[in-house]
């Protein structure tokens, strides 16, 4: 193990030794990116639908926050972009609320449909959380939870704005609005997920610090 390579890891992923060989380094990055894309897909399968909204309850946001914190902003963004693209391009069960195991067209319809704003939000959120993680905000609970809150807020903004556009409904006014469909039903669950992510990363860093002592 190259101890020098892990003395000052910027993110949790950086504790994995970096090879000086360009091919191995690229493969390492690709494995991390695709690994967290797959993790997001796994958590997407934890889902159930609500009768009054087209947006399902899923575990995706937890994986998105972890991807940003663990990978940093560039690899975090890449992981969620890959998550989105794979669901479009491959006829496999991937997203939470589709049946993309049968055709590419169905994956495209989900990826560009009512919940497209959330997919965009996943990419942006992973970037923001990743940037904050590179600044060390994921190492203490007092700063980690606000970082996860910022990421979750971005997902909501992107998701709700697109939902309003796609369904042709107001964002906040009227009996049927995008906030009522795409934000308020998920506040409790997403609060639990962001707190869990905000607690997990400092715990992981604690373990890393003990290992490096």
Q: Between 116-134 and 60-71, two packed helices, what is the crossing angle to 10 degrees?
A: 30
The 10s digit of each residue's pLDDT in 170-184 is 999 988 999 999 999
Instruction: Give the global pTM.
Output: 0.90
Q: What is the maximal distance between C-alpha atoms in the chain? A: 60
Q: In the chain, what are the helix, strand and coil shares in percent, each to the nearest 5? A: 70, 0, 30
Over the range 170-180, which residues count as b (16 or more CB within 10 Å of their CB) and which as e?
ebeeeeebbbb
pLDDT at position 147, please? 98
pLDDT at position 3, please? 44
pLDDT at position 65, please? 98
Instruction: Give every residue of the chain whose pLDDT is below 70, as ranges.
Output: 1-8, 91, 96-104, 213
**Length of the chain as a residue count:** 213
The 10s digit of each residue's pLDDT in 13-22 is 999 887 777 8
């Amino acid at each position: 193990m190259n101890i020098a390579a892990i003395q000052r890891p910027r993110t949790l992923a950086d504790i994995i030794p970096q090879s000086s060989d360009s091919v191995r380094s690229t493969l390492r990055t690709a494995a991390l990116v695709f690994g967290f894309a797959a993790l997001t897909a796994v958590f997407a399968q934890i889902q159930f639908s609500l009768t009054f909204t087209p947006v399902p309850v899923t575990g995706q946001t937890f994986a998105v926050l972890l991807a940003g914190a663990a990978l940093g902003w560039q690899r975090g963004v890449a992981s969620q972009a890959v998550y989105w693209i794979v669901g479009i391009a491959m006829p496999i069960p991937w997203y939470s609320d589709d049946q993309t195991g049968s055709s590419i067209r169905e994956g495209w319809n989900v990826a560009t449909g009512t919940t497209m704003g959330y997919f965009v939000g996943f990419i942006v959120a992973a970037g923001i959380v990743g940037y904050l993680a590179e600044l060390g905000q994921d190492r203490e609970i007092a700063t980690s939870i606000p970082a996860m809150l910022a990421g979750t807020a971005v997902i909501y903004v992107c998701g709700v704005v697109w939902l309003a556009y796609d369904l042709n409904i107001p964002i906040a006014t009227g009996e049927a609005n995008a906030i009522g469909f795409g934000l308020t039903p998920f506040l409790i669950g997403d609060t639990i997920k962001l707190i869990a992510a905000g607690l997990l990363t400092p715990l992981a860093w604690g373990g890393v610090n003990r290992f490096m002592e």
